Amino acid sequence: MLFSMFFGAGNLIFPSMLGAEAGPDLIPAITGFVITGVLLPVVAVIAVAISGSGVLDLASRAGRVFGVVFSVVAYLSIGSLYAMPRAASTAYTLSVETTLDLHGEWPRLLFSLVFFGVSLALVLVPGTVADSLGKYLTPALLVLIAVLVVVGFTRLHDPAVASSAKYADSPLVTGVLEGYFTMDSVAALAFAIVVVTSFGARGVTDHRTVVRATAVSTLIAGACLLLVYVSLAVLGTKMPDKTSFSDGAELLSRASELTLGDAGAWVFAAVVLLACLTTAVGLITASASFFHELLPRLSYRAWCVVFTVTGLAVANLGLQRILAVSGPVIGFIYPVAITLILLTVFHMTVGTLRIPVTYRAAVTVAVLFSLLDLGRSLGGLVIGWIPLFADGLGWLVPTLVAGAVGYAVDRRRGLHDEALVGGDVEVKA
Protein backbone atom coordinates (compact mmCIF):
# COMPACT_ATOMS: atom_id res chain seq x y z
CA MET A 1 0.00 0.00 0.00
CA LEU A 2 2.71 2.46 1.00
CA PHE A 3 4.76 1.87 -2.12
CA SER A 4 1.77 2.39 -4.39
CA MET A 5 0.68 5.58 -2.62
CA PHE A 6 4.17 7.04 -2.90
CA PHE A 7 4.77 5.86 -6.46
CA GLY A 8 2.96 8.18 -8.85
CA ALA A 9 3.70 9.30 -12.37
CA GLY A 10 6.36 11.75 -11.20
CA ASN A 11 8.23 8.96 -9.43
CA LEU A 12 8.21 7.06 -12.71
CA ILE A 13 9.33 9.96 -14.88
CA PHE A 14 11.95 11.86 -12.87
CA PRO A 15 14.48 9.01 -12.26
CA SER A 16 14.59 7.99 -15.93
CA MET A 17 15.29 11.56 -17.04
CA LEU A 18 17.88 11.90 -14.28
CA GLY A 19 19.70 8.88 -15.68
CA ALA A 20 19.69 10.29 -19.21
CA GLU A 21 20.95 13.72 -18.10
CA ALA A 22 23.40 12.76 -15.35
CA GLY A 23 25.49 10.43 -17.52
CA PRO A 24 28.79 9.65 -15.78
CA ASP A 25 27.56 11.51 -12.68
CA LEU A 26 24.72 9.03 -12.20
CA ILE A 27 25.88 7.70 -8.82
CA PRO A 28 25.98 11.05 -6.93
CA ALA A 29 22.84 12.25 -8.75
CA ILE A 30 20.75 9.18 -7.90
CA THR A 31 22.15 9.26 -4.35
CA GLY A 32 20.80 12.78 -3.90
CA PHE A 33 17.47 11.73 -5.42
CA VAL A 34 17.23 8.79 -3.03
CA ILE A 35 17.86 11.04 -0.02
CA THR A 36 14.70 13.09 -0.62
CA GLY A 37 12.78 10.44 -2.56
CA VAL A 38 13.33 7.41 -0.30
CA LEU A 39 15.29 8.07 2.90
CA LEU A 40 13.33 11.06 4.18
CA PRO A 41 9.89 9.56 3.43
CA VAL A 42 10.88 6.32 5.21
CA VAL A 43 12.16 8.25 8.23
CA ALA A 44 9.04 10.43 8.24
CA VAL A 45 6.57 7.52 8.30
CA ILE A 46 8.44 5.73 11.09
CA ALA A 47 8.84 8.96 13.09
CA VAL A 48 5.13 9.75 12.86
CA ALA A 49 4.25 6.20 13.94
CA ILE A 50 6.64 6.41 16.92
CA SER A 51 5.44 9.82 18.04
CA GLY A 52 1.79 8.84 17.59
CA SER A 53 1.10 12.30 16.17
CA GLY A 54 -0.28 13.42 12.85
CA VAL A 55 0.90 16.35 10.76
CA LEU A 56 -1.17 18.83 12.77
CA ASP A 57 0.28 17.77 16.10
CA LEU A 58 3.83 17.68 14.76
CA ALA A 59 3.60 21.10 13.11
CA SER A 60 1.85 22.59 16.16
CA ARG A 61 5.00 22.04 18.20
CA ALA A 62 6.25 25.14 16.39
CA GLY A 63 3.06 27.04 17.31
CA ARG A 64 -0.63 26.25 17.07
CA VAL A 65 -1.39 28.76 14.30
CA PHE A 66 1.56 27.60 12.25
CA GLY A 67 0.52 23.99 12.80
CA VAL A 68 -2.96 24.55 11.38
CA VAL A 69 -1.78 26.70 8.47
CA PHE A 70 1.06 24.39 7.43
CA SER A 71 -1.07 21.27 7.74
CA VAL A 72 -3.88 22.71 5.63
CA VAL A 73 -1.44 23.98 2.97
CA ALA A 74 0.41 20.64 2.91
CA TYR A 75 -2.75 18.56 2.57
CA LEU A 76 -4.21 20.79 -0.12
CA SER A 77 -0.90 20.69 -2.00
CA ILE A 78 -0.55 16.92 -1.92
CA GLY A 79 -4.29 16.59 -2.38
CA SER A 80 -7.02 18.15 -4.46
CA LEU A 81 -5.30 21.41 -5.48
CA TYR A 82 -2.11 20.00 -6.97
CA ALA A 83 -0.81 16.43 -6.64
CA MET A 84 -4.14 14.67 -7.12
CA PRO A 85 -5.20 16.56 -10.29
CA ARG A 86 -1.59 16.26 -11.51
CA ALA A 87 -1.90 12.49 -11.22
CA ALA A 88 -5.16 12.46 -13.19
CA SER A 89 -3.88 14.86 -15.85
CA THR A 90 -0.63 12.94 -16.22
CA ALA A 91 -2.53 9.66 -16.57
CA TYR A 92 -4.70 11.18 -19.29
CA THR A 93 -1.81 12.78 -21.17
CA LEU A 94 0.49 9.76 -21.08
CA SER A 95 -2.08 7.01 -21.58
CA VAL A 96 -5.17 8.24 -23.41
CA GLU A 97 -3.65 11.01 -25.54
CA THR A 98 -0.47 9.08 -26.31
CA THR A 99 -1.93 5.62 -26.83
CA LEU A 100 -5.40 6.32 -28.20
CA ASP A 101 -4.57 9.67 -29.83
CA LEU A 102 -7.64 11.29 -28.27
CA HIS A 103 -7.48 15.03 -27.65
CA GLY A 104 -9.86 17.73 -26.52
CA GLU A 105 -11.93 18.77 -23.54
CA TRP A 106 -14.60 16.05 -23.79
CA PRO A 107 -12.22 13.06 -23.78
CA ARG A 108 -10.35 14.66 -20.86
CA LEU A 109 -13.60 15.18 -18.93
CA LEU A 110 -14.79 11.63 -19.60
CA PHE A 111 -11.46 10.16 -18.53
CA SER A 112 -11.40 12.32 -15.38
CA LEU A 113 -14.90 11.19 -14.43
CA VAL A 114 -13.90 7.53 -14.72
CA PHE A 115 -10.52 8.05 -13.00
CA PHE A 116 -11.93 9.89 -10.00
CA GLY A 117 -15.00 7.65 -9.87
CA VAL A 118 -12.82 4.57 -9.48
CA SER A 119 -10.62 6.36 -6.94
CA LEU A 120 -13.65 7.38 -4.87
CA ALA A 121 -15.03 3.85 -4.88
CA LEU A 122 -11.73 2.54 -3.50
CA VAL A 123 -11.53 5.04 -0.61
CA LEU A 124 -15.08 5.22 0.75
CA VAL A 125 -14.25 2.55 3.33
CA PRO A 126 -10.87 3.56 4.84
CA GLY A 127 -10.01 0.14 6.28
CA THR A 128 -10.11 -1.45 2.81
CA VAL A 129 -7.49 0.83 1.25
CA ALA A 130 -4.65 -1.47 2.32
CA ASP A 131 -6.36 -4.44 0.68
CA SER A 132 -7.27 -2.56 -2.51
CA LEU A 133 -3.76 -1.21 -3.04
CA GLY A 134 -1.52 -3.73 -1.32
CA LYS A 135 -3.07 -6.94 -2.59
CA TYR A 136 -4.14 -6.05 -6.10
CA LEU A 137 -2.99 -2.78 -7.67
CA THR A 138 0.60 -2.68 -6.37
CA PRO A 139 1.59 -6.17 -7.62
CA ALA A 140 0.17 -5.34 -11.04
CA LEU A 141 2.13 -2.07 -11.08
CA LEU A 142 5.39 -3.77 -10.05
CA VAL A 143 5.00 -6.51 -12.65
CA LEU A 144 4.53 -3.97 -15.44
CA ILE A 145 7.53 -1.91 -14.29
CA ALA A 146 9.65 -5.07 -14.04
CA VAL A 147 8.74 -6.07 -17.61
CA LEU A 148 9.71 -2.63 -18.92
CA VAL A 149 13.01 -2.51 -17.01
CA VAL A 150 14.19 -6.08 -17.62
CA VAL A 151 13.45 -6.00 -21.34
CA GLY A 152 14.99 -2.53 -21.57
CA PHE A 153 18.22 -3.73 -19.92
CA THR A 154 18.55 -6.58 -22.42
CA ARG A 155 17.77 -4.60 -25.57
CA LEU A 156 19.16 -1.08 -24.96
CA HIS A 157 22.93 -0.72 -24.88
CA ASP A 158 23.77 2.89 -25.83
CA PRO A 159 26.62 4.31 -23.73
CA ALA A 160 26.11 7.22 -21.35
CA VAL A 161 26.79 10.72 -22.69
CA ALA A 162 28.33 13.73 -20.98
CA SER A 163 26.40 15.18 -18.05
CA SER A 164 24.00 18.03 -18.74
CA ALA A 165 24.89 21.44 -17.32
CA LYS A 166 22.78 21.15 -14.16
CA TYR A 167 24.41 17.84 -13.17
CA ALA A 168 27.97 18.67 -14.21
CA ASP A 169 28.60 21.17 -11.38
CA SER A 170 26.78 19.64 -8.40
CA PRO A 171 25.14 16.30 -9.23
CA LEU A 172 24.41 15.40 -5.60
CA VAL A 173 22.59 18.66 -4.83
CA THR A 174 20.74 18.55 -8.14
CA GLY A 175 19.62 15.01 -7.35
CA VAL A 176 18.33 16.16 -3.95
CA LEU A 177 16.31 18.94 -5.58
CA GLU A 178 14.94 16.57 -8.23
CA GLY A 179 13.75 14.35 -5.39
CA TYR A 180 11.68 17.29 -4.14
CA PHE A 181 9.35 16.86 -7.11
CA THR A 182 8.21 13.44 -5.93
CA MET A 183 6.65 15.31 -2.96
CA ASP A 184 7.02 12.06 -1.02
CA SER A 185 8.55 13.62 2.11
CA VAL A 186 5.50 15.86 2.46
CA ALA A 187 3.12 13.04 1.59
CA ALA A 188 4.84 10.72 4.09
CA LEU A 189 3.65 12.88 6.96
CA ALA A 190 0.10 12.26 5.77
CA PHE A 191 0.41 8.65 4.60
CA ALA A 192 1.77 7.51 7.97
CA ILE A 193 -1.61 8.04 9.59
CA VAL A 194 -3.25 5.95 6.84
CA VAL A 195 -0.88 3.11 7.72
CA VAL A 196 -1.56 3.40 11.46
CA THR A 197 -5.32 3.50 10.79
CA SER A 198 -5.06 0.39 8.63
CA PHE A 199 -3.47 -1.50 11.52
CA GLY A 200 -6.06 -0.10 13.92
CA ALA A 201 -8.91 -1.26 11.69
CA ARG A 202 -7.57 -4.79 12.17
CA GLY A 203 -7.56 -4.47 15.93
CA VAL A 204 -3.82 -3.74 16.30
CA THR A 205 -3.59 -0.75 18.66
CA ASP A 206 -0.68 -1.60 20.96
CA HIS A 207 1.80 1.19 20.29
CA ARG A 208 4.96 -0.88 20.14
CA THR A 209 3.32 -3.43 17.85
CA VAL A 210 2.05 -0.70 15.53
CA VAL A 211 5.47 0.97 15.41
CA ARG A 212 7.24 -2.31 14.70
CA ALA A 213 4.78 -3.30 11.96
CA THR A 214 4.90 0.21 10.46
CA ALA A 215 8.70 0.15 10.41
CA VAL A 216 8.77 -3.21 8.61
CA SER A 217 6.16 -2.07 6.09
CA THR A 218 7.96 1.21 5.47
CA LEU A 219 11.37 -0.40 4.98
CA ILE A 220 9.87 -2.82 2.43
CA ALA A 221 8.19 0.07 0.60
CA GLY A 222 11.46 2.04 0.72
CA ALA A 223 13.41 -0.91 -0.68
CA CYS A 224 10.93 -1.21 -3.56
CA LEU A 225 11.20 2.52 -4.27
CA LEU A 226 15.00 2.35 -4.20
CA LEU A 227 15.09 -0.62 -6.59
CA VAL A 228 12.66 0.99 -9.04
CA TYR A 229 14.39 4.40 -8.98
CA VAL A 230 17.86 2.96 -9.60
CA SER A 231 16.53 0.66 -12.33
CA LEU A 232 14.73 3.48 -14.14
CA ALA A 233 17.77 5.76 -13.83
CA VAL A 234 20.06 3.09 -15.32
CA LEU A 235 17.49 2.51 -18.06
CA GLY A 236 17.71 6.23 -18.84
CA THR A 237 21.47 5.97 -19.33
CA LYS A 238 20.98 3.20 -21.94
CA MET A 239 18.58 5.14 -24.18
CA PRO A 240 19.70 6.27 -27.66
CA ASP A 241 19.45 9.99 -28.53
CA LYS A 242 19.27 10.96 -24.85
CA THR A 243 19.44 14.69 -25.50
CA SER A 244 16.37 14.63 -27.76
CA PHE A 245 13.87 14.00 -24.95
CA SER A 246 12.14 16.93 -23.30
CA ASP A 247 11.04 14.97 -20.23
CA GLY A 248 11.01 11.52 -18.66
CA ALA A 249 7.54 10.72 -19.95
CA GLU A 250 8.67 11.04 -23.54
CA LEU A 251 11.81 9.03 -22.75
CA LEU A 252 9.94 6.13 -21.14
CA SER A 253 7.30 6.11 -23.87
CA ARG A 254 10.07 5.76 -26.44
CA ALA A 255 11.81 3.10 -24.32
CA SER A 256 8.57 1.10 -24.27
CA GLU A 257 8.32 1.24 -28.04
CA LEU A 258 11.97 0.27 -28.58
CA THR A 259 11.86 -2.67 -26.16
CA LEU A 260 8.32 -4.04 -26.53
CA GLY A 261 7.32 -2.91 -30.01
CA ASP A 262 3.68 -2.02 -30.63
CA ALA A 263 2.69 -3.52 -27.27
CA GLY A 264 5.10 -1.16 -25.52
CA ALA A 265 2.74 1.80 -25.74
CA TRP A 266 0.02 -0.19 -23.99
CA VAL A 267 2.39 -1.43 -21.28
CA PHE A 268 3.59 2.12 -20.62
CA ALA A 269 0.01 3.41 -20.55
CA ALA A 270 -0.94 0.72 -18.02
CA VAL A 271 2.07 1.54 -15.81
CA VAL A 272 1.23 5.26 -15.80
CA LEU A 273 -2.47 4.66 -15.21
CA LEU A 274 -1.90 2.32 -12.26
CA ALA A 275 0.79 4.57 -10.75
CA CYS A 276 -1.50 7.61 -10.91
CA LEU A 277 -4.57 5.75 -9.68
CA THR A 278 -2.87 4.28 -6.61
CA THR A 279 -1.42 7.67 -5.71
CA ALA A 280 -4.80 9.38 -6.08
CA VAL A 281 -6.38 6.78 -3.78
CA GLY A 282 -3.76 7.44 -1.11
CA LEU A 283 -4.08 11.22 -1.42
CA ILE A 284 -7.87 11.23 -1.16
CA THR A 285 -7.75 8.91 1.87
CA ALA A 286 -5.12 10.98 3.68
CA SER A 287 -6.79 14.34 2.93
CA ALA A 288 -10.26 13.17 3.94
CA SER A 289 -8.95 11.62 7.18
CA PHE A 290 -7.14 14.84 8.13
CA PHE A 291 -9.97 17.24 7.39
CA HIS A 292 -12.50 14.96 9.11
CA GLU A 293 -10.34 15.16 12.24
CA LEU A 294 -9.95 18.93 11.86
CA LEU A 295 -13.63 19.59 11.02
CA PRO A 296 -15.57 16.52 12.22
CA ARG A 297 -19.01 17.88 11.32
CA LEU A 298 -18.42 16.45 7.86
CA SER A 299 -17.97 12.68 7.81
CA TYR A 300 -14.94 10.94 6.32
CA ARG A 301 -17.01 9.87 3.31
CA ALA A 302 -18.30 13.41 2.77
CA TRP A 303 -14.74 14.75 2.74
CA CYS A 304 -13.79 12.03 0.24
CA VAL A 305 -16.51 13.32 -2.08
CA VAL A 306 -15.41 16.96 -1.56
CA PHE A 307 -11.80 16.26 -2.47
CA THR A 308 -12.69 13.97 -5.34
CA VAL A 309 -14.95 16.61 -6.92
CA THR A 310 -12.37 19.36 -6.33
CA GLY A 311 -9.60 17.24 -7.86
CA LEU A 312 -11.85 16.49 -10.82
CA ALA A 313 -12.44 20.19 -11.43
CA VAL A 314 -8.77 21.18 -11.15
CA ALA A 315 -7.61 18.24 -13.30
CA ASN A 316 -9.60 19.55 -16.24
CA LEU A 317 -7.56 22.74 -16.30
CA GLY A 318 -4.89 20.68 -18.09
CA LEU A 319 -1.49 19.31 -17.15
CA GLN A 320 0.54 22.32 -18.30
CA ARG A 321 -1.38 24.77 -16.12
CA ILE A 322 -1.06 22.49 -13.12
CA LEU A 323 2.69 21.96 -13.62
CA ALA A 324 3.23 25.71 -14.05
CA VAL A 325 2.75 26.25 -10.31
CA SER A 326 4.55 23.10 -9.14
CA GLY A 327 8.08 24.48 -8.76
CA PRO A 328 7.29 27.43 -6.44
CA VAL A 329 4.82 25.41 -4.35
CA ILE A 330 7.16 22.46 -3.85
CA GLY A 331 10.18 24.68 -3.24
CA PHE A 332 8.36 26.48 -0.44
CA ILE A 333 6.76 23.50 1.32
CA TYR A 334 9.62 21.01 1.16
CA PRO A 335 12.20 22.74 3.42
CA VAL A 336 9.59 23.16 6.16
CA ALA A 337 8.49 19.53 5.85
CA ILE A 338 12.08 18.27 6.00
CA THR A 339 12.73 20.47 9.04
CA LEU A 340 9.71 19.00 10.84
CA ILE A 341 10.82 15.45 10.01
CA LEU A 342 14.35 16.03 11.32
CA LEU A 343 13.06 17.81 14.44
CA THR A 344 10.69 14.93 15.18
CA VAL A 345 13.52 12.41 14.93
CA PHE A 346 15.77 14.62 17.08
CA HIS A 347 13.01 15.07 19.65
CA MET A 348 12.99 11.31 20.22
CA THR A 349 16.64 11.41 21.31
CA VAL A 350 16.22 13.94 24.14
CA GLY A 351 13.89 11.96 26.39
CA THR A 352 11.24 14.03 28.12
CA LEU A 353 12.98 17.38 27.60
CA ARG A 354 10.64 19.99 26.11
CA ILE A 355 12.15 21.74 23.08
CA PRO A 356 9.57 24.33 21.95
CA VAL A 357 12.21 26.98 21.22
CA THR A 358 14.09 24.49 19.03
CA TYR A 359 10.96 23.83 16.98
CA ARG A 360 9.99 27.48 16.64
CA ALA A 361 13.47 28.77 15.83
CA ALA A 362 14.23 26.10 13.21
CA VAL A 363 10.80 26.25 11.54
CA THR A 364 10.73 30.06 11.47
CA VAL A 365 14.12 30.22 9.77
CA ALA A 366 13.13 27.43 7.35
CA VAL A 367 10.01 29.41 6.36
CA LEU A 368 11.94 32.67 5.91
CA PHE A 369 14.67 31.11 3.79
CA SER A 370 12.12 29.14 1.80
CA LEU A 371 10.58 32.49 0.89
CA LEU A 372 14.01 33.78 -0.15
CA ASP A 373 14.60 30.63 -2.23
CA LEU A 374 11.16 31.13 -3.76
CA GLY A 375 12.15 34.66 -4.74
CA ARG A 376 15.39 33.37 -6.23
CA SER A 377 13.54 30.79 -8.32
CA LEU A 378 11.25 33.54 -9.63
CA GLY A 379 14.20 35.65 -10.74
CA GLY A 380 15.01 37.42 -7.50
CA LEU A 381 18.34 38.25 -5.90
CA VAL A 382 20.92 35.51 -5.32
CA ILE A 383 22.52 36.02 -1.89
CA GLY A 384 26.06 34.79 -2.31
CA TRP A 385 27.09 34.70 1.36
CA ILE A 386 24.46 32.11 2.28
CA PRO A 387 25.85 28.57 1.80
CA LEU A 388 24.11 26.57 -0.98
CA PHE A 389 21.72 29.45 -1.73
CA ALA A 390 22.47 29.46 -5.45
CA ASP A 391 21.80 25.70 -5.51
CA GLY A 392 18.33 26.04 -3.98
CA LEU A 393 19.32 24.78 -0.52
CA GLY A 394 19.91 28.14 1.13
CA TRP A 395 17.56 27.23 3.98
CA LEU A 396 19.62 24.25 5.20
CA VAL A 397 22.57 25.76 7.10
CA PRO A 398 20.64 28.69 8.68
CA THR A 399 17.93 26.26 9.84
CA LEU A 400 20.48 23.94 11.44
CA VAL A 401 22.12 26.90 13.19
CA ALA A 402 18.77 28.23 14.42
CA GLY A 403 17.80 24.78 15.68
CA ALA A 404 21.09 24.41 17.55
CA VAL A 405 20.65 27.83 19.21
CA GLY A 406 17.06 26.98 20.12
CA TYR A 407 18.13 23.67 21.62
CA ALA A 408 20.77 25.42 23.75
CA VAL A 409 18.01 27.66 25.14
CA ASP A 410 15.74 24.68 25.81
CA ARG A 411 18.54 22.82 27.59
CA ARG A 412 19.17 25.83 29.80
CA ARG A 413 15.47 26.05 30.70
CA GLY A 414 15.37 22.33 31.48
CA LEU A 415 11.59 21.91 31.22
CA HIS A 416 10.31 18.36 30.99
CA ASP A 417 7.07 16.83 29.82
CA GLU A 418 5.48 13.43 29.42
CA ALA A 419 7.31 10.88 27.31
CA LEU A 420 6.91 11.47 23.59
CA VAL A 421 6.07 7.82 22.97
CA GLY A 422 3.57 5.61 24.71
CA GLY A 423 0.04 4.29 25.01
CA ASP A 424 -2.31 2.77 22.51
CA VAL A 425 -2.98 4.17 19.08
CA GLU A 426 -6.34 5.89 18.88
CA VAL A 427 -8.30 4.94 15.77
CA LYS A 428 -10.87 7.52 14.77
CA ALA A 429 -14.00 6.53 12.91
Q: Which residues pair with 416 in a beta bridge?
A: 353
How many residues appear in the chain? 429
**Distance (Å, whole) CA 78 – CA 84:** 7
**Distance (Å, whole) CA 309 – CA 378:** 31
Q: What is the pLDDT of residue 297?
A: 92
Q: What is the pLDDT of residue 347?
A: 87
Walk me through the domains of the chain, giving residue ranges and CATH numbers. 1-316 (1.20.1740.10), 332-421 (no CATH)
Concatenate the DSSP letters of all residues of 89-129 into one string: HHHIIIIIIIII---SHHHHHHHHHHHHHHHHHHHSSGGGH
Which amino acid makes up residue 415?
L
The residue that leads in pLDDT, 181 or 150, is: 150
**Distance (Å, whole) CA 320 – CA 322:** 5
Q: Phi and psi at residue 220, in whole multiples of 5°? A: -65, -45
Q: What is the pLDDT of residue 164?
A: 84
The residue that leads in pLDDT, 133 or 89, is: 89
Whether the Cβ atoms of residue 294 and residue 20 lie closer than 8 Å to each other:
no
Q: What is the pLDDT of residue 426?
A: 46
User: For residue range 41-92, what is the model confidence (pLDDT) as tens digits?
Assistant: 999 898 888 876 678 888 888 888 998 998 898 888 888 888 888 888 888 8
User: For residue range 337-350, what is the model confidence (pLDDT) as tens digits?
Assistant: 899 989 988 988 88
Portion of the chain with pLDDT greater than 90, in percent? 26
The residue that leads in pLDDT, 252 or 9, is: 252
Q: What is the pLDDT of residue 318?
A: 67
Q: What is the pLDDT of residue 54?
A: 74
Q: What is the pLDDT of residue 25?
A: 92
Q: Give Cα separations from 69 to 48, 60, 64, 65, 402 (angstroms).
A: 19, 9, 9, 6, 21
The residue that leads in pLDDT, 102 or 234, is: 234
CA 7, 10, 12, 18 torsion: positive or negative? negative
Q: From the centroid of its chain, how far is CA 110?
A: 27
pTM of the model: 0.82
User: For residue range 140-157, what is the model confidence (pLDDT) as tens digits?
Assistant: 878 888 888 888 888 888
**Residue 296, pLDDT above cutoff 80:** yes
Whether the Cβ atoms of residue 373 and residue 396 lie closer than 8 Å to each other:
no
340 closest CA partner among 30, 59, 2: 59
Whether the Cβ atoms of residue 87 and residue 116 lie closer than 8 Å to each other:
no
Contact partners, residue 112, CB within 8 Å, separation at least 6:
88, 92, 312, 315, 316
Q: Give Cα separations from 47 to 41, 185, 402 (angstroms).
A: 10, 12, 22
Q: What is the pLDDT of residue 428?
A: 43
Q: What is the pLDDT of residue 419?
A: 52
User: For residue range 102-124, what is the model confidence (pLDDT) as tens digits?
Assistant: 777 888 889 999 999 989 988 88
Q: What is the pLDDT of residue 304?
A: 93
User: For residue range 394-427, what is the model confidence (pLDDT) as tens digits?
Assistant: 889 999 999 999 999 999 998 776 554 444 444 4
In this prediction, residue 359 has a pLDDT band, given cuts at 50, 70 and 90, of very high
The residue that leads in pLDDT, 12 or 291, is: 291
**Residue 288, pLDDT above cutoff 50:** yes
Portion of the chain with pLDDT greater than 70, in percent? 90
User: For residue range 21-45, what is the model confidence (pLDDT) as tens digits?
Assistant: 998 899 999 999 999 999 999 998 9
User: For residue range 251-286, what is the model confidence (pLDDT) as tens digits?
Assistant: 888 888 888 887 888 888 888 888 888 888 888 988
Q: Which of 93-102, 120-129, 362-371 has the weakest average pLDDT? A: 120-129
374 closest CA partner among 341, 325, 315: 325
CA 374, 378, 382, 387 torsion: positive or negative? positive
Q: Which of 140-144, 219-223, 320-324 has the weakest average pLDDT? A: 320-324
> 353 by DSSP, 3-state: which?
strand
**Residue 332, pLDDT above cutoff 50:** yes
**Residue 311, pLDDT above cutoff 80:** yes
User: For residue range 374-390, what is the model confidence (pLDDT) as tens digits?
Assistant: 777 666 666 667 787 77
Q: Which of 122-126, 164-168, 202-206, 240-244 has the weakest average pLDDT? A: 122-126
